[in-house]
A = this chain, B = another copy of it.
Amino acid sequence: MADTPQRSPLAPEHFPSLPLIRGVSFASVQAGVRYSGRTDVMLAQLCAGSVVAGAFTKSSTRAASVLDCQAKIGSDSDAGAAIIANSGNANAFTGKNGIEATRAVTGAVATSLGIPETRVFSSSTGVIGEPLAHAKITAKIDELKGALSESSIQHAAEAIRTTDTFAKGSGAQIDVNGTSVSIAGIAKGSGMIAPDMATMLVYIFTDAKIKRAELQAMVSELNEVTFNSITVDSDTSTSDSLLVAATGTSGVDVTGSADFRDALHSVMKDLALQVVRDGEGATKLVEIQITGAANSKDARVHGLAIANSPLVKTAIAGEDPNWGRVVMAIGKSGAAADRDLLSISFGDVLVAENGWVSPDYKEGDGASYMKNDHLVIAVDLGLSDGKSTVWTCDLTHGYITINADYRS
């Protein structure tokens, strides 16, 4: 989409100032894969000694680049590495041509940067089912190489957008025994967002020193409570990819560091919520907090049933405190619930308890709360201690307009 859509009302005011990560440099270019008048390919180069961890869509129709990343992600290597991503074409459901396109791109990057092809990770996002014009990308590799700079991360974030209305970035810095460790990440994602995972590409970089296997375990665990706990429209892309690279250039070993884990969690959660904030047509960011479920799996099922219910989402769009639709969604979820033990709150407003509307509830209180941009819907099942939090957005005319007209 050459035209930039109107910026989401839930967008942050501006792209954040992110810490430089020594050992990672970025470049972006206009390759004309599909869009014109904007960048559409980004390259990130990682210094020798970097480790890379990742998480990917579980779609059975996932794209060639995802399969390629998955084949490469589990190996240790001391060689340098690279990430290349294009927007405009997902290179998904493109048969053997798709595999060849991925090989052409990763091979060209490997040759240009002098690293093994097994260390080049690629992503493609955009239209499904059309052949990727990979020659347009490979023709630009040397130009990308020449433009690499540690300070160009924001431009990289801009190059990977599709229907995103803003570029997404998040960073953190912690102090470990007197030395600073930094994390900087970028993401794209707007529609086709749901576990597992959202339609998104996420690249996070840190100068921490950590073993690949440990980073992978941390990423997999944090992914569940961040990117795998958001849903815009219940649809799951063929291309979702999260890559986390640690260069070790800070010299600080963060093995076992709770501070590092917390910082990485905060960056991942921030990027995940930015994706929801940019949900197609979104005007409200909604946090669904489930407690008291029979177990945490049931809590998640209830949370997603509420978060994905078109009737709940349209009520939120209409600022209607329609807790009856929340009851409906719990009822349909298939997870354990006892109607007469439920309690439901909108923010601090207790709306329902003991199987009925709360005696103290006033419709005006609920209606007033629903005017907020950021809403919390809390449901306690009253059964046991299972809990889960998921995030979603409302369902508006904007979603219909974007998706009934734009071939994404």
Contact = CB atoms under 8 A, between A and B. Distances in A.
Interface of A: 57, 59-62, 90, 92-97, 127-130, 191-192, 194, 233-238, 308-311, 314-315, 317-318, 320, 322-325, 327-333, 336-340, 342, 352, 354-357, 395-397, 399-401, 403-405, 407-408
Contacts of A314: 399-400, 403-404
A332 B59 contact: yes
A325 B127 CA distance: 9
A400 B404 CA distance: 13
A129 B356 contact: yes
Contacts of A62: 331
A233 B235 CA distance: 14
Contact of A324 (B59, B93, B329, B338): B93
Given A327-B93, A331-B61, A337-B61, A233 B355 contact: no
Contact of A95 (B315, B318, B356, B404): B356
Contact of A311 (B93, B357, B403, B405): B403
Given A330-B60, A331-B236, A355 B309 contact: no
B234 A330 contact: no
Given A60-B336, A192-B311, A339-B61, A238 B403 contact: no
Nearest to A90: B324
11 contacts: A57-B331, A59-B332, A95-B340, A97-B356, A127-B324, A129-B352, A233-B311, A234-B308, A235-B329, A320-B404, A397-B400
A192 B322 CA distance: 14
Best-surrounded residue of A60, A62, A317 (most CB of chain B within 10 A): A60
